[in-house]
């Protein structure tokens, strides 16, 4: 099994565990770090809506808490009929740990449909270098 196949499989598992009782919109994300580790998460909603978190944010937190620092690739899949893109806040979260070659894969249950570089989705970036 390739790393990308493993990412999709694990993102689907995470998606199936999503806590989305309000929207019924299930999202799974999988990160491949520069050390070739895979970190996954799902969206976690809250009755106080702004307290909910995105799948990408959870996967980033798991990556950081596990000691990795660089996102080589990130895959996002959802239960929706359309591909789901990372939200604006998550693009900024990804940027914090990205390189110029970080890939963002959008997938359905079975395969990757589109792949972008972060700069394609976030062309004007507020980067850690500017802080």
The footprint of Zn ion (CB under 5 A) covers 54, 87, 90
Among 7, 76, 63, which Cα is nearest to 35's?
Answer: 63
Q: 75 to each of 21, 47, 67, 105, how far by Cα in Å?
A: 23, 27, 20, 4
Closest distance of CB 91 from Zn ion, Å? 8
Closest distance of CB 87 from Zn ion, Å? 3
Q: Would you say 70 or 87 has its CB closer to Zn ion?
A: 87
Q: Which two tokens stand for residue 16?
A: 């199936």
Q: Is 119 helix (H, G, I), strand (E, B) or coil?
A: helix
Closest distance of CB 103 from Zn ion, Å? 17
Q: Would you say 90 or 104 has its CB closer to Zn ion?
A: 90
Q: Would you say 56 or 73 has its CB closer to Zn ion?
A: 56
Angle subtended by helix axes 3-16 and 55-65, to nearest 10: 120
Catalytic residues: 56
Q: Residue 55: how many CB atoms within 10 A of its CB?
A: 28
């Amino acid at each position: 099994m390739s790393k990308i196949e493993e990412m999709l499989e694990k993102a689907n598992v995470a998606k199936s565990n999503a806590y989305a009782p309000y929207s019924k919109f299930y999202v799974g994300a999988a990160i491949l770090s520069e050390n070739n580790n895979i970190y996954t998460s799902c969206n976690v909603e809250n009755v106080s809506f702004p307290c909910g978190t995105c799948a990408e944010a959870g996967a980033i937190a798991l990556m950081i808490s596990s000691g990795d620092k660089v996102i080589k690739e990130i895959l996002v899949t959802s239960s929706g009929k359309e591909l789901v893109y990372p939200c604006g806040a998550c693009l900024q979260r990804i940027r914090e740990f990205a390189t110029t070659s970080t890939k963002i894969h959008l997938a359905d249950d079975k395969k990757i449909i589109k792949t972008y570089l972060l700069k394609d989705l976030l062309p004007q970036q507020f980067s850690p270098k500017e802080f």
